[in-house]
Amino acid sequence: MINLDKALLPGAVIGIVGGGQLGRMMAISAKEMGFRVGVLDPVENCPAAQVADWQIKAEYSDITALEKLAKRSDVVTYEFENVDVAALVAVEEIVPLPQGTDLLAITQDRILEKTFLEENDIIIAPHATIINPSDILDEIDSIGYPCVLKTTRGGYDGKGQHVIYSSSDLASGMNLLRKGTCVLEAWIPFEKEISVMVAGNGEDYQVFPVVENIHRNNILHETIAPARINDEITEEAQRIAKVIAEALDLSGVLAVEMFLTKNGGIYVNELAPRPHNSGHYTIEACNVSQFDMHIRGICNWPLPEVQLLESAVMVNVLGEALLETYNLISQKPAWQFHYYGKAEAKKGRKMGHITILTDNVEETLEEVYQTKIWD
């Protein structure tokens, strides 16, 4: 039963900072639940604005625009982590911000994120803070080769990082230090990349199935739900995700990305404080989607226990493959096509995704391969 003293009821306005595909799918879920939706984004007619009630066209750091969004909304959420924390702090007194700004600050900074995870006894890769070039030389012996140098802020889809295989790679890696403080991480020889979506409403926490992620050029290519792992690893990955959510008093949805080693070790790689690309399969494959759970969480609605109704494979549609996937619409009537309404298709840009429900994952992966679109 909904606690009417705390819950946001249908007819209220949800403000979303960010107008990309995640905001679009948040808005669709919110509209289905009877909410009105406003979006703040600098791009006119952005994906989220196409399905929202209104848009404020402004930069995410524009405090005046954020205040305007806050005054027109009953609750405000964000769809990605590169939102200015100071700007959001300025509007916290105007409107509830259930995700809070602490979560945003933690996930925007790799050092803060690693500190938080270590404080909660979560296993992560050995690492060191790098402020100047001499720090790399001081730390490389203990970290070992190969390792990864990453900027502390702003990395996404493989940007802002450099793999160091030997001393000959050190010079080219130094360029990242021009962007500020970095983190040097040991390379984890993982067998699979997995992730777990976890939802919270500040009191109750529910975990989604563990999924397996396949990347190409550091961009997610396919997600397989459920991951091809044993029950013991599944339970441990979900336990880790729930520990993190509880430590954060999570409201909304959080993605926990992990590395799985050959001997069953699990290392948390990073957190994303919002719905995630690897959770898109939930729209068709689960009894409740990650976007439904996010809206429920920030509105203080109860959270249902998540059930995987059918196995699924999700495939990203990037700009270079967009036109070819249109041909599949008539060829693959059982496939679920989602397109984001972006104005321009660019190489590497996420333009949509396809979800395929299946009772045979291997055959479905082969079917995707046979299209020759993602060769």
Evaluate whether residue 225 is within a structural domain.
yes
Q: What is the CATH number of the domain that holds 363?
A: 3.30.470.20
Please compute the mean of the pLDDT values over residues 278-290 and round it to a whole number: 98
State the pLDDT at residue 155.
Answer: 62
Q: What is the CATH number of the domain that holds 170?
A: 3.30.1490.20
pLDDT confidence of residue 176: 81
> Could you give the percent of the chain with pLDDT greater than 90?
83
What SS3 class is residue 65?
helix
CATH number of the domain to which 90 belongs? 3.40.50.20
The more confident residue out of 157 and 368 is 368
Arithmetic mean of pLDDT, 134-157: 84
pLDDT score for 2 = 53
Q: What pTM was estimated for this model as a whole?
A: 0.94
Number of separate domains in the chain: 3
The verdict on residue 298 lying in a domain is: yes
pLDDT of residue 168: 84
Burial of 183 (0-12, 13-18, 19+ CB in 10 A): buried
Determine the average pLDDT of the residues in 207-235: 97
Over residues 65-93, mean pLDDT = 93
| 158 within some domain | yes
Q: Same domain, yes or no, for 177 and 242?
A: no
Tell me the H-state helices in 249-360: 282-285, 290-298, 322-331
**Which of 42, 45, 47 is closest to 65 using CA atoms?**
42
In-domain check, residue 5: no
- At residue 47, the pLDDT reads 98
Q: In terms of domains, do 53 and 139 share one?
A: no
Longest Cα separation, the chain = 62
Band (pLDDT 50/70/90 cuts) for residue 3 is: low
One domain for residues 177 and 200? no
Exposure string of 266-304, with b = 16+ CB inside 10 Å and e = fewer, is: bbbbbbbbbbbbbbbbbbbbbebbbbbbbbbbbbbbebe
pLDDT digits (tens, 9 = 90+) for 327-342: 999 999 999 999 999 9
Average pLDDT over residues 225-229: 98
CB atoms within 10 A of CB 202: 16
Q: Could you tell me if 70 and 177 lie in one domain?
A: no
178 inside domain: yes
Do 216 and 90 reside in the same domain of the chain? no
Give the model's pLDDT for residue 157.
Answer: 58
* Final residue before a domain boundary, out of 42, 77, 97: 97
Domain assignment present for residue 114? The answer is no
For the cut 80, the answer to whether the pLDDT of residue 269 exceeds it is yes
Residues 284 and 363 in one domain: yes
Angle ∠(288,41,286) on CA atoms, nearest 5: 10
- The answer on pLDDT for 171 being more than 80 is no
Identify whether the C-beta of residue 260 lies closer than 8 Å to the C-beta of residue 190.
yes
What's the pLDDT band for 180 if we cut at 50, 70, 90? confident
In terms of domains, do 206 and 300 share one?
Answer: yes
CA dihedral 324, 328, 331, 335 (to 10 degrees): 170
The pLDDT value recorded for residue 156 is: 61
**Looking at the domain assignment, is residue 111 inside a domain?**
no
Mean pLDDT of 340-348: 96
Same domain for 199 and 146:
no
User: Is residue 152 domain-shared with residue 75, that is, in the same domain?
Assistant: no
3-state secondary structure labels for all residues of 15-39: EEECCCHHHHHHHHHHHHCCCEEEE
Residues 257, 154, single domain; the answer is no
DSSP β-bridge partners for residue 349 = none
By 3-state DSSP, what share of the chain in percent is helix, strand and coil, each rounded to 5?
Answer: 35, 30, 40
Positive/negative CA dihedral, 155, 174, 267, 201 = negative
Domain co-membership, 79 together with 153: no
pLDDT at position 4, please?
61
Q: What is the mean pLDDT of residues 250-255?
A: 98
Mean of all residue pLDDT scores within the chain:
94
Give backbone dihedrals phi and psi of 152, rounded to 5 degrees, phi first.
-75, -20
Q: Which of 115-124, 165-174, 313-322, 332-341 has the lowest mean pLDDT?
A: 165-174
Helix ranges restricted to H, the chain: 21-32, 63-72, 85-89, 102-108, 110-119, 133-143, 170-173, 231-248, 282-285, 290-298, 322-331, 361-370
Is 118 a member of any domain? no
Report the alpha-carbon distance of residue 73 to residue 64 in Å, rounded.
14
- Residue at which a domain ends, from 153, 170, 186: 186
In this model, does residue 174 exceed pLDDT 80? no
- 186, 207, 222 - which closes a domain: 186
169: containing domain: 126-186
The identity of residue 115, as a single letter, is T
Residues 218 and 361 in one domain: yes
